[in-house]
Amino acid sequence: MRKKIVAGNWKMNKNYNDGLSLFSEVLNMVKDEVRGEQIVVVCAPYIHLNSLSALAKDAKQVFVGAQNAHQEAAGAYTGEISSEMLSSVGVRYVILGHSERRQYFGENNALLAKKTDAVLQNNLKPIFCIGETLEERESGKYFEVIKSQIEEGVFHLSADDFSKLVLAYEPVWAIGTGVTASSEQAQEIHAFIRTEIAKKYGSDVAENTTILYGGSCNPKNAAELFAQKDIDGGLIGGASLKSRDFVDIVKTFN
């Protein structure tokens, strides 16, 4: 059975103390809610990661994630953080290729392929984001865009490495806009992604790959989205900044 994941993406929000309070609340509220194949991940800014990992150390199914990592192992890259550094403070997941990183920091598929390698080499799990812009959806070429994002970003991996990956479909037009893809629109893309994985790595790998939906996912729409056959949870933006909303989304699986 593939893992069901609800991952929060705090983005550049919460100072140190507010982040600690939010995470402590979430931890208390979810500890009796996560069971079976379900996992909760909180992807926080770098300054929080060490402390959040310490708080989560006894929580079996709650993990801490980062929102980015540099592609190189170490060196003269002022202001950057390596996967090895993340691993050294107990981080387990790393979001890669979020559309905000692609848009504002010029991250392309080739760079993201290198970041994916660095993350995996340090035994961390990438949450690899893909998704089309509004223009790409309206022009009808969104299948092509998504196909090239996965082909160029992660299809160079061995089947063994690919199995450690989580994918997140986040249509750019649904990020921070309050607009959500309908459950049919999201399911259509998730099924397409799973078919592409099956063509490349076989049906067992495809069936075991967790594919999250992201983009204005909230307590009101999560149940319908997560009920879709190929949607295995969500990458949650704004709603992850309020403990009650985030935990309500986690409870959707119960």
Q: Tell me the number of residues near ligand 3PY by CB under 6 A.
A: 12
Is-catalytic flag, 48?
no
Q: What is the DSSP letter of 11?
A: -
- Of 52 and 175, the one with the shorter C-beta distance to ligand 3PY is 175
Angle formed by the axes of helices 16-30 and 243-251, nearest 10°: 30
* Run of H or E residues at 5: strand 4-9
**Which residues between 98 and 137 bind ligand 3PY (CB under 6 A)?**
98
In whole angstroms, the minimum distance from the beta carbon of 237 to ligand 3PY comes to: 3
Nearer to ligand 3PY among residue 51 and residue 218 (C-beta): 218
Contact call for residue 219 and ligand 3PY (CB under 6 A):
no
Q: At its nearest, how many Å lie between ligand 3PY and the CB of residue 9? A: 4
Interatomic CA distance for residues 7 and 71, integer angstroms: 22
* Cβ within 8 Å of residue 65, ≥6 positions away: 7, 41, 42, 43, 44, 91, 92, 93, 94, 95, 127
**Residue from 19, 97, 153, 214 that binds ligand 3PY (CB under 6 A)?**
214
Q: Is 218 in the site for ligand 3PY (CB under 6 A)?
A: no
- What's the rounded Cα separation, in Å, for the pair 98 and 153? 12
The amino acid that residue 182 corresponds to is: S
Closest CA to 144 of 133, 156, 128: 133
Closer CB to ligand 3PY, residue 113 or residue 236?
236
- Contact indicator for 72, 36 with CB cutoff of 8 Å: no
Q: Which of residues 176-205 bind ligand 3PY (CB under 6 A)?
A: 176
Is 10 or 201 the residue whose CB approaches ligand 3PY more closely? Answer: 10
Q: What is the rounded CA–CA span in Å between residue 114 and residue 27?
A: 33
Closest CA to 41 of 63, 61, 23: 63
x-marked contacts with ligand 3PY along 223-242 as a string, rule CB under 6 A: ------------xxx-----
Mask of contacts with ligand 3PY, 5-44, x by CB under 6 A?
Answer: ----x-----------------------------------
Q: Is 98 a catalytic residue?
A: yes
Helices 142-153 and 109-121, packing angle to 10 deg: 40
Contact between 67 and ligand 3PY per CB under 6 A? no
Shortest distance in whole angstroms from residue 58 CB to ligand 3PY: 27
Positions in the binding site for ligand 3PY (CB under 6 A): 9, 98, 170, 175-176, 214-217, 235-237
Residues involved in catalysis: 98, 170
